[in-house]
Structure 1
């Protein structure tokens, strides 16, 4: 973002984006009386505000009427036309509605979205006042509108990808050669001189332009003209701009050297072209290719003259005459997008999941999204947003629902008079749902306010959504809290949840007086009265809004985001969401038993975010403890906590004085060799005066990888306890294999595992209809394993997978060292590469580089808690028999999609081959 607009002020006192543009003359007659300059200035600031709101989730433009009319007036045709042009829609009310209250005039702006009819193929991702992209058409230079610009950029991006295997230098060289061969002006470009008055034997065309300027205006006109003409030639098929030739007659007149020196003109031209913003979709990034030449003009006069010719080669990307004029609200200011931001947003499309598309289904596509949304996917075997909405926020066609009922009962038992207050407020509403929370602010990743009893979101028919904040007593900051929370909710429903309808969220504060149990409320309905179209008209609209709410509440940044290089959101399961929704103050300690692949680490990350907002603490007061370094690094890099291993946690000189809250992950693999980690964690979280810190412990006894005491309390003392029984990570065949191993673990539990803890297996829920692959591979020696892994890796990479999809897991760290050099040597013999990106030598790294584009090779213990799409497992079934099945389970559960297990030939029970 750059250069905010000081004439546009974002008013933060409303639960919506409200931009105050100041005084504007309204009424058709009044506007016609204005001077053109003033009329254009007013039109510009209104259009900028509208553009910013369209691109930022919608909102309201507020203006003061500059004229003195005492009666309501219309906005003015020129203002309305500028807004129609902005959206390129014939239906003004599709995105805008207007209302006048006294001398205040409001324009209600719906968020821009690309949810157009299917036949409308080219839909710009964002709105712009001016694309600043020009093209040649016959002898004209035309400015592309937003849709033309979107189409143009899509084609450029597609062509760049198609030509991606060719070196960019070769592409430019071929384009240059074809450009020269086909252009009749090239012969004259190569000359040294022309005759004064000579008629050039070729006319203006798509790739030829003639210009003749009066002497005193050359530099001024050059600065005005060069950006548009050079950009237009570069964006079309290249061309020649002749300066010093009349356009109608084609007569050579030239420019006088005494009036402007050729070297000065060349400097101005080169500076103007080199300043042009441009976007390139190639690697490495390309530059605008042009040549400036001066041809002497021979004349009977003694004055020295010349013709300046600028040759422009077709550009592989897009060249702009200036930065695009597109606006967005960021950090409370109306800011202009940079060229790079504008191009990224215009060309942003759904990621190509390629092989992953068999596993994931789109819940929110960029093809029908508001500008700021991210794509949302769910596993095919899991509930869609529609299913989740019906499970969590069902809307009855007959009466008003209250959810969650358990929270309502709990709150009403704690606060006398609360039930009567809620019923009184809900009396006018008959259909819809009231969703209660101890803090909607925390649910939206904002800070909790201690004085709040609860928040409640009402989604009901014939009304906009209403957010109620119920306070214990009057509080000067109560309205600010409610307004801020309602504002954030509205923004997230659109920009995160992808809601495309007209939307506002009203904010209302209620007070519950503990002395009298009487209602006391502060009028907090917005001073802005929204049009009736902002009411939810029926069950269909309510459910659409609630499905967006599901995305807001249940989405989390997928690990696929790092793999694909763009933000992708996944959805929690109902089980995961219910655990995250727990009241932390009433559940300061919790043991979460989760089956392999049930999302324990995801829940751990989400709960740390909630701790920060509920407890009002900084991330340096939250500690994440796990057993292995790679998992520690992965979580530590998320910026939500401090992260250490158990060994580091138990060091005597470790400084945890600031720590108040602790989350422990993969606790089944902890040991007491360095001391009692559980007692230390309890002591830290309980040392605060007047308040107790959070201690949540995640574990899975099935994946225990040692035979020592874990340090966990006895099973009966692990209370309260929750279970995650929905396995969501693995493909069908892998999941079926996990069930077989877990059955064996249950039948033959290691002595350090409480056998009753394994009863969770009988409650397990398994994903279905997720394709994948499982193969058992016999081997005779290490060379045989290396050969088969290398061969399969080559095949996978050629099929479209990348190095970041693949992991090779061994039994011990010593095994890793043995295999590393042999695998690296074998992989480097690969003769061809899948893409230019992987033309360098393939690299093998340990699990600390899990997010990099490397094949990971590490031990099963160090890979605990991590995952990849494709896993090769090298663990003999005879290794450490006391927990060999648990070790195999830990390995197998790391594979999302394909699992290849190497077993000695003499133990092979299920043969398969590549």
Structure 2
């Protein structure tokens, strides 16, 4: 390992440890220094580490980090992450979200704030039962002089229906929010496609879908294709499918569909001779969110730095309570019901009367092994507690009964203490 590679590796470990401690209540990082002449007072942190910390904490690290050199060790004191320090509602710290979106012709890895905005938008749509954003297929404009963004997507859709192309043919549409051109001159085409494909799939899926056209120059819009000697079209389609299926997703809906895409290989001819291939990947809009990989965010678990999964990251970002997301009723109490039914005869029949498939209406049915223990009492105290509750209800009933009785007498003017009692004759 070269010195540059070693520095990058050490720098990455420090950044990951810093992020993990920020998300885990704070702590101390002990960095061993090999350079015996190093002095924090004279040399500081170094440009590479400062740049990485600035990316991790864009608003400034001084509120979270303190530094102290002790001999040949640099101590980094990390405070706990506080979402209110910078006025942002971010519950955890992340280096990269790995959530992509399209910004006109660019593919952008969303920052933490924009990622949170996207998550809330998708969550809101799922709660309103708009779990899938349908792609709009616009009609051609009646006025040939009026052009808009949707025209490029329509042209790309028509391009996908073609069977063959001419070498250096110039296309009549350009890149847009929903169209991306790529041309590779490298010999290792498939590894290069697998490297960049997740970025565009995530971006298109999170931005109402789009078309990735591989084999067209993005500047001249000319068709070049991938030379047939450099690529096997069947293998290329297979690798693209495997790559997309591995992308992490998070669902707010209960249907949980996979990323929907279509891959088509178009033959490119030069003087009626097969020259190569153009690959078109059509990604449909996704109901929820698609990541390129797990977010670059870490926590401390079992005394080690652990990377969060996409599901864990979204759950922490939105502070989602444990349970299945979504607004649909999810039934999953089979094991508890089986135990309760065996312990209490007649409970199963009672439940069937309360939850009738024919007359199903909104509501909640709560099962509890002992509601006395649910209010903080031990199980053996529950009979006494229930009896005490019965006595209290009886006293309350009689109190209100006599109160109402005397109140009626007062209204009628029949005061019991003023009523004349007839004297009996002697």
TM-score tier by shorter-chain length is 0.7 to 0.9
Distance 2:279 2:207 in 1: 21
8 Å contact from structure 1 (residues 179, 238) kept in 2: no
Q: Per-residue deviation at 1:242?
A: 0.6
Matched, 1:56 2:24: yes
1:829 aligned residue (359, 374, 385): 359
Q: Per-residue deviation at 1:251?
A: 0.3
Q: Per-residue deviation at 1:69?
A: 1.2
1:155 aligned residue (110, 113, 121): 121
8 Å contact from structure 1 (residues 236, 314) kept in 2: yes
The equivalent of 1:327 in structure 2 is 298
The equivalent of 2:390 in structure 1 is 887
Q: Per the alignment, in what secondary structure is the counterpart of residue 285 of structure 2? A: coil
2:5 aligned residue (37, 53, 62): 37
The equivalent of 2:135 in structure 1 is 176
8 Å contact from structure 2 (residues 213, 281) kept in 1: yes
Distance 1:125 1:199 in 2: 49
Q: Per the alignment, in what secondary structure is the counterpart of residue 268 of structure 2? A: strand
1:86 aligned residue (34, 56, 63): 56
Q: Per-residue deviation at 1:130?
A: 2.0
Distance 2:94 2:388 in 1: 60
Instruction: Spell out, residue by residue over 1:486-507, the C-alpha distance to the aligned partner (whole angstroms, 9 max, x if none).
Output: xxxxxxxxxxxxxxxxxxxxxx
Note the residue ranges of structure 1 that are not aligned, 5 or more in a row. 1-33, 352-560, 566-632, 638-644, 646-811, 852-861, 868-882, 894-900, 902-907, 910-914
Distance 1:158 1:46 in 2: 37
Matched, 1:850 2:380: no
- Compare relative contact order (CA 8 Å, sep 6+) and give the higher one, 1 or 2: 2
Distance 2:81 2:185 in 1: 46
Q: Per the alignment, in what secondary structure is the counterpart of residue 40 of structure 1? A: helix
2:221 aligned residue (243, 250, 256): 250
The equivalent of 1:217 in structure 2 is 188
The equivalent of 1:46 in structure 2 is 14
Q: Per-residue deviation at 1:88?
A: 2.3
8 Å contact from structure 1 (residues 51, 326) kept in 2: yes
Instruction: Spell out, residue by residue over 1:363-419, the C-alpha distance to the aligned partner (whole angstroms, 9 max, x if none).
Output: xxxxxxxxxxxxxxxxxxxxxxxxxxxxxxxxxxxxxxxxxxxxxxxxxxxxxxxxx
Tell me: CA distance 1:206–1:328, structure 2 relative to 1, closer, same or farther (3 Å).
same
Q: Per-residue deviation at 1:828?
A: 4.1
Tell me: CA distance 1:564–1:86, structure 2 relative to 1, closer, same or farther (3 Å).
closer
Matched, 1:113 2:82: yes
Task: Note the 1:732-743 alignment, pairs <5 A.
Answer: none
Matched, 1:234 2:202: no
Q: Per the alignment, in what secondary structure is the counterpart of residue 329 of structure 1? A: strand
Distance 2:214 2:158 in 1: 16
Q: Per the alignment, in what secondary structure is the counterpart of residue 340 of structure 1? A: helix
8 Å contact from structure 2 (residues 262, 283) kept in 1: yes
Matched, 1:346 2:314: no
Distance 2:309 2:67 in 1: 30
Instruction: Spell out, residue by residue over 1:211-232, the C-alpha distance to the aligned partner (whole angstroms, 9 max, x if none).
Output: 1112512112111111111111
What TM-score do the two structures reach when normalised by structure 1?
A: 0.36
Matched, 1:289 2:256: no
Task: Note the 1:568-717 alignment, pairs <5 A.
Answer: none
Q: Per the alignment, in what secondary structure is the counterpart of residue 187 of structure 2? A: helix
Q: How many residues align?
A: 362
Q: Per the alignment, in what secondary structure is the counterpart of residue 142 of structure 1? A: strand
Distance 2:354 2:100 in 1: 53
Distance 2:271 2:324 in 1: 70
Q: Per the alignment, in what secondary structure is the counterpart of residue 38 of structure 1? A: helix
8 Å contact from structure 1 (residues 241, 311) kept in 2: yes
Distance 1:137 1:562 in 2: 34
Distance 2:139 2:6 in 1: 48
8 Å contact from structure 1 (residues 244, 255) kept in 2: yes
* RMSD (CA atoms): 3.8
8 Å contact from structure 1 (residues 256, 303) kept in 2: no
The equivalent of 1:302 in structure 2 is 273
Tell me: CA distance 1:252–1:106, structure 2 relative to 1, closer, same or farther (3 Å).
same
Distance 1:268 1:563 in 2: 32
Note the residue ranges of structure 2 that are not aligned, 5 or more in a row. 141-149, 327-335, 376-385, 398-403, 406-426
Q: Per-residue deviation at 1:886?
A: 5.4
The equivalent of 2:107 in structure 1 is 141
Q: Per the alignment, in what secondary structure is the counterpart of residue 224 of structure 1? A: helix
Q: Per-residue deviation at 1:145?
A: 2.0
8 Å contact from structure 1 (residues 179, 313) kept in 2: no
Distance 1:306 1:196 in 2: 10
8 Å contact from structure 2 (residues 268, 274) kept in 1: no
What TM-score do the two structures reach when normalised by structure 2?
A: 0.74
Instruction: Spell out, residue by residue over 1:518-546, the C-alpha distance to the aligned partner (whole angstroms, 9 max, x if none).
Output: xxxxxxxxxxxxxxxxxxxxxxxxxxxxx
Task: Note the 1:859-874 alignment, pairs <5 A.
Answer: none
